[in-house]
Copies of this chain bind each other. A is one copy, B any other.
């Protein structure tokens, strides 16, 4: 039996935002690996082993998936959102790069999903309707000074911006610093939206100006979208026009 690894995006949370492509590989899998709340979304069945692990062990989890596949297992690594956006796909390739040469022939495929910023944008209206960027605000894997530089350059480029992992208990002051930079670069009236638990029963959406924004509006379950200079409200919606004049 020849093993494989699929890294599958489960979308933001609700089951009707999962693709059939992902459902199909979950049916073929012998093993599902992932962070506890994502593995919990996969129904148990005979012949399927569920490996739920803590959040901070992405490369261990990826290495485990490759080991199992080398032994002939059909492994799905589950990820929230889209696995290629601040999720498990890059971790898998890091593990592949650091592993034995024979792993290079592993049958690997990444299966896309609805990533948080696009689910949030859809609920808000169309704030990412013009050029935009996506920035992971966590400094676990890069220096904070680089994040500051990116925020300034992104603002100067006129990008709308989506932020993942904006704030955690381990680094409460950084998001406050980010807001300060954004106010300097974008002015007080720029719109900023906080979208928490998008598509879940606990969903919360809130749009304010940068002058009204406070660090407490964000936590690790929030994705943030900052508009560009043309982003505006129309009725209950927030949108960015396609055209720059």
Q: Which residues of A contact B (CB under 8 A)?
A: 11, 14-21, 24, 58, 82-86, 89-94, 96-97, 104-106, 108-115, 118-119, 121-123, 125-136, 141-143, 146, 149-150, 153-154, 156-159, 234-235, 237, 239-244
By beta carbon, the residue of chain B nearest A106 is B235
Bound complex: CA of A105 vs CA of B106, how far in Å?
Answer: 53
Q: Are A158 and B146 neighbours in the complex by a CB distance under 8 Å?
A: yes
Q: Are B17 and A19 neighbours in the complex by a CB distance under 8 Å?
A: yes
Bound complex: CA of A89 vs CA of B240, how far in Å?
Answer: 10
Q: How far is the CB of A133 from chain B (nearest CB, A)?
A: 4
Q: How far is the CB of A184 from chain B (nearest CB, A)?
A: 16
Bound complex: CA of A240 vs CA of B94, how far in Å?
Answer: 9
Q: Are A112 and B105 neighbours in the complex by a CB distance under 8 Å?
A: no
Point out the residues of chain B lying under 8 angstroms from A125, CB to CB: 89, 93, 110
Instruction: Known contacts A122-B112, A141-B243; decide if A93 and B133 are in contact (CB<8 Å).
Output: no
A-B contact pairs, 28 of them (CB 8 A): A82-B114, A83-B122, A83-B126, A84-B121, A84-B128, A89-B122, A90-B129, A90-B130, A90-B239, A92-B126, A93-B237, A93-B239, A105-B235, A109-B122, A114-B114, A128-B134, A130-B136, A131-B135, A131-B136, A133-B159, A141-B242, A143-B244, A146-B244, A150-B157, A153-B153, A153-B154, A153-B156, A157-B157
Point out the residues of chain B lying under 8 angstroms from A240, CB to CB: 90
Point out the residues of chain B lying under 8 angstroms from A132, CB to CB: 133-134
Point out the residues of chain B lying under 8 angstroms from A146, CB to CB: 158, 244
By beta carbon, the residue of chain B nearest A238 is B93
Q: Are B90 and A234 neighbours in the complex by a CB distance under 8 Å?
A: no
Q: Are A153 and B142 neighbours in the complex by a CB distance under 8 Å?
A: no
Bound complex: CA of A158 vs CA of B55, how far in Å?
Answer: 26
Instruction: Known contacts A16-B24, A17-B21, A234-B96; decide if A126 and B110 are in contact (CB<8 Å).
Output: yes
Bound complex: CA of A240 vs CA of B97, how far in Å?
Answer: 12
Instruction: Known contacts A131-B134, A244-B141; decide if A235 and B114 are in contact (CB<8 Å).
Output: no
